Structure 1
Amino acid sequence: MPLPNDEKLLALSQDLLAQFHKIFGEFPGFRPAHAKGIMLTGEFKPSGTAASISRAQHLNQPSTPVVVRFSNSTGLPLIPDADPNANPRGFAIRFMLAQHVHTDIVSHSTDGFPTRTGAEFLEFLRALAASDPANLSGSPLEAFLGAHPAALAFVQTPKPTPASFATDTYFGVTAMKFLNAEGKEQFGRYRIVPAAGNQFADEATLKEKPADFLVDEIVERVGAAPVVFSVQLQLAAPGDVVDDATIHWPADRPVVELGTLTLTAPVADTEAQQKQIIFDPIPRTDGIEPSDDPLLELRAAIYLMSGRKRRQA
Structure 2
Amino acid sequence: MKIIHSIQELRKELHMRRFDKERISFVPTMGNLHEGHISLIHKAAEKADCVVASIFVNPLQFGAHEDLESYPSTPAEDEAQLIETGSVDFLFRPRVEEIYPVGQENHTIVEVPNISDVYCGASRPGHFRGVATIVCKLLNIVQPDFAVFGNKDYQQLMVIRKMVEDLCLPVKIIGADTARAKSGLALSSRNGYLTPEELKIAPNLYKALSQAKEAILEGQADIKGIEARANQFLEQAGLQPDYFDICNGKTLEPALKSDQQLVILAAAYLGKARLIDNIVVNADINA
> For this structure pair, what is the TM-score category when the shorter chain's length is used for normalisation?
under 0.3
Structure holding more strand per residue: 1
More helix per residue: 1 or 2? 2
